[in-house]
Every structure is written in C-alpha cells, then in structure tokens.
Amino acid sequence: MLAKEYRRDCGIIAVGGGVVTDLAGFIAGTYGRGVPFVNYATTLLAAADASVGGKTAVDTPLATNLIGLFNQPQKVYLDIATWKTLPARQLSSGMAETIKHACLAEKGVFFDFLEENMEGLLALNPALCEHMAEQNCSIKYHVVMKDERESGLREVLNLGHTVGRAIETVSDYRLLHGEAVSIGLVAQLHLACRLGYVTKEQADRVTALLERAGLPVQIPDYIDREALVRKLYTDKKVKNGQLRFVVQKGIGDIVEFEGGSFATPVTEETAREIIMDL
Ligand SMILES: NC(=O)c1ccc[n+]([C@@H]2O[C@H](COP(=O)([O-])OP(=O)(O)OC[C@H]3O[C@@H](n4cnc5c(N)ncnc54)[C@H](O)[C@@H]3O)[C@@H](O)[C@H]2O)c1
C-alpha cells in the first residue's frame, strides 16, 4: 500500500474468509493510524463470527488471537451465495461458531433450529441459511453492543475457545479454527458437567450436533496433550497465571459467576484431567 502511494484517504475492502477480514481490519487500524474498512465475508465462519464484532488479529506460530486491535468495519456484507464453493470441511468449520452461539444464547431456541435443520443447512437451503446468518449476527450483536472491549460479558463469546485456541496452535494449524473450537466446546461441556451446570443428556445433545455438522469431538492422536495443557496458558483470559473457562448453563445460556464474571478459574489439574479424557 505504501509502495502504491495510498494515503489516509484510502479505504480497504476485505473480500474473503476470517483470515482476510481479520488481517484487513488489523491493517486498516494501523495503516496511517487508521483508515476505514468494509468486510465482504465469503465463508460461513466469517459470516457467523469473524467479520462482525470488530475484533481483528493476526495469528502467529506461538499463539492465536493475541496480536490485534478492536476496530469496527464501516459495514459488513454476508454473501450466502459464496458458500456454494466452500469445501465441505470449511462449511463444517463455520458451523462450530454457529453451534457455539446456539449453546450460549436464545434459551435453546436457536439450538433446536440447528438440530431440526442441520442437513438442510449443510445443503445450503437459502431460507434456512439466511435465518442462521441473521441469528448468528443478532446473538453476537447483543453481546458486543454491551461490552465491545471485552471487559466482561463479551467473554461469553469465548465459549469453547480456551482449549480450542490452544489446540489450533498445538496442531500447527492442521485443525481448522472451527474444528478446534468444536473440540474446545466438548472440553467445556465436560467441565460444565463436573460443575453441575449441564446434564450428561445435554452434553450428549451438543456433541451429537457437532458430529452431525461434520466436526471432530475428540482430540486427534497426533496432538501432544501435555503440550496442549502448557499452551492453555497463552489464552487471553488467563489472569494472575490462572486458567479461566467460560461455561454454558444447560443449552442456550451461560453461567455468570460470583462478582459478575463470565469465566471461572480452573486448576491445571482439572484442565489436564479433562484433556486426558477427551
Ligand atoms: N475476529 C473474530 O472475532 C474472529 C472470530 C472467529 C474466528 N476468527 C479468525 O478467523 C479465521 C478463520 O476464518 P475462516 O475459516 O473463514 O478461514 P479462511 O479465511 O482461511 O478461509 C478458509 C478457506 O476458504 C477459502 N475461501 C474463502 N471463501 C471461499 C469461498 N467462497 N469459496 C471457496 N473457498 C473460499 C480461503 O481461501 C481459505 O482457504 C481464523 O484466523 C480465526 O482466528 C476471528
């Protein structure tokens, strides 16, 4: 951009998946100390999550999601027609963030919709996909409008991401973001069961839906589980060296812990037990 002599009167249009919209938002926030940008999301994952909400970041070999900016796009376009050319694996990856939204909001109504329509959604039925896209945006919007800079409530959107982000990095990005989040959601369900916030039946329902969406629900054999436990400490929710997890309450709600926090401290021993079990 410098070589092409773009100045502060330029703008950036990001056309692509979450990697592109995250990178574009990061560049737009730093180039000339800030130029406007517009996202045109072409993957389900970007439509469901990455392109909306104003979090931008670049991934690195050491950790995901630690280098970035809060930077809102001027506008976001979701083009459902572009999903037609997505490989099935990428479509499934986007479903993970969608199922995450269904687990944490709408009192289970969106979850029921996904359970009823998963095959139709994967077949890209336009009316179903439009409803899903609207629901994803609406759930994220309601959280972000209350806590744009993640000082409290926004942490709920991190459901499944403590283990998810760590496993994405430890897999050396062999796991797609959504695949890693899917495994992270199951890890969080194990914790929620232990803490008594989710029944075994509810956990099985969520796990079954992730599987129907074509997502992994177990840690692959090639992952070094001890390395995964160590990597948990790169999570941005870690406070005073203590791991913290967001936990769902039943299906369609989230646990608010004492003091209004949405993430609870978890000992390394408990985290290790859950990871060894998965
Ligand atoms: N900012 C946020 O709030 C947030 C939230 C969730 C995830 N993310 C980030 O998003 C990234 C993952 O996003 P993603 O899954 O969209 O990945 P991606 O951008 O890598 O896209 C996935 C793949 O699909 C291809 N592709 C894009 N559109 C296509 C289309 N219409 N047809 C065919 N192929 C297409 C891309 O070239 C790429 O190979 C991760 O880096 C993750 O950290 C950010």
Q: Is the CB of 14 under 6 A from ligand 1?
A: no
Query: Is any ligand 1 atom within 6 A of the Cβ of residue 17?
Result: yes
- Is it the case that residue 21 has pLDDT exceeding 80? yes
What is the rounded average pLDDT of the residues 238-257?
Answer: 97
Looking from the CA of residue 44, the nearest atom of ligand 1 is: 16
Q: What does the mean pLDDT of the chain come to?
A: 96
The CA 199 to ligand 1 mean position distance, Å, reads 33
In the chain, the percentage of residues whose pLDDT exceeds 70 is: 100
Ligand 1 atom showing the smallest separation from residue 65 Cα: 43
| Cα(63) to centroid(ligand 1), Å | 17
Instruction: Choose one of 15, 19, 148 to mutate for the ligand 1 pocket test, by most ligand atoms within 8 angstroms of C-beta.
Output: 19
The pLDDT tens digits for 80-137 are: 999 999 999 999 999 999 999 999 999 999 999 999 999 999 999 999 999 999 999 9
Q: With a 6 A CB cut-off, is 252 part of the ligand 1 pocket?
A: no
pLDDT in tens, 193-203: 999 999 999 99
Is the pLDDT at 64 greater than 80, yes or no?
no
- Give nearest CA residue, ligand 1 atom 22: 17
Distance CA 248, CA 269 (A): 21
Mean pLDDT in residue range 171-179: 96
Is the whole model's pTM more than 0.75, yes or no? yes
Binning pLDDT at 50, 70 and 90, where does residue 49 land? Answer: very high
